[in-house]
Amino acid sequence: MTRSPSGAYRSAKGLSSVAVTIYLGRAAFEAMCVLSALMQLGLLVNALAGHRPTMEVARANDVRQAVLTILRLPVLLSSSILFFVWLYRAYANVGHLRSWGSAYTPGWAVGWFFVPIFSFFRPFQVVREMWNASRPEWNESDSLWWMRTRGWGSGVHGSGAGLSAAGREPKRSASASSATRAITAGPIPIA
């Protein structure tokens, strides 16, 4: 089912920059959570070994864990909401990037994340459609480049006979060593 583009094109570049910054911050926060958990594990291992921590160390550990636990939900929600706002805006532009529109509405591009069973595969399809629409020179068969360069997709043990049907041969630089050419030419015989 195709949808016609509605509304005007709105760039998601600024929102993308903010989202990347927020996700880098979230990654740093999660690293702090892991480090804190490892510190708590160290306390527990020492306690089991008979080296009981002082009351101040135990309280400091509890406060640190409590603060990180309280902050975890707002960090998760804010980064997730920002991701969904970015996805909505970016997917709304898909209809403006090609003449036949998009397969889903921007609302469903986000909504599929919350539908059981469909949430396993539909978000991938939505993002793949966005990717393909934003890269018109990208060919669907280009996603199999790694198979073609190694001869796995040819069916003739690396002879490359099946590659001609795709219209392209793998590009090899003139400076590639013979070892590189041997590795990428096809499967290595084991017997």
Instruction: Assess whether pLDDT exceeds 80 at residue 147.
Output: no
- Give the pLDDT of residue 182: 42
- Residues of the chain with pLDDT > 90, as a percent, come to 31
User: Each residue of 72-100: pLDDT tens digit?
Assistant: 999 999 999 999 998 898 888 887 776 56
Instruction: Assess whether pLDDT exceeds 90 at residue 151.
Output: no
Q: Which of 62-66, 68-72, 98-102, 141-145 has the lowest mean pLDDT?
A: 141-145
The single-letter code of the amino acid at 160 is G
Nearest Cα to 160, choosing from 172, 171, 148? 148
Q: Could you give the dihedral angle defined by the CA atoms of residues 8, 12, 15 and 17, in that order, rounded to the nearest 10 degrees?
A: -160
pLDDT, average across residues 45-70: 93
User: Each residue of 107-143: pLDDT tens digit?
Assistant: 888 888 888 898 898 889 888 888 887 776 655 555 5
Nearest Cα to 89, choosing from 7, 23, 24, 26? 7
Q: CA 127, CA 113: separation in Å to the nearest integer?
A: 12
User: Each residue of 11-27: pLDDT tens digit?
Assistant: 778 888 888 898 899 99
Looking at per-residue pLDDT, the higher value among 51 and 165 belongs to 51
Nearest Cα to 88, choosing from 72, 106, 75? 106
Give Cα 95 distance to the centre of its chain.
23
pLDDT, average across residues 157-165: 39
Phi, psi for residue 169 in degrees, rounded to 5: -110, 150
Output the pTM of the full model.
Answer: 0.59
- Give the pLDDT of residue 176: 43
Q: Take residue 187 and report the two structure tokens written for it.
A: 């499967």
Instruction: Assess whether pLDDT exceeds 60 at residue 55.
Output: yes
- Give the pLDDT of residue 63: 96
- Give the pLDDT of residue 140: 53
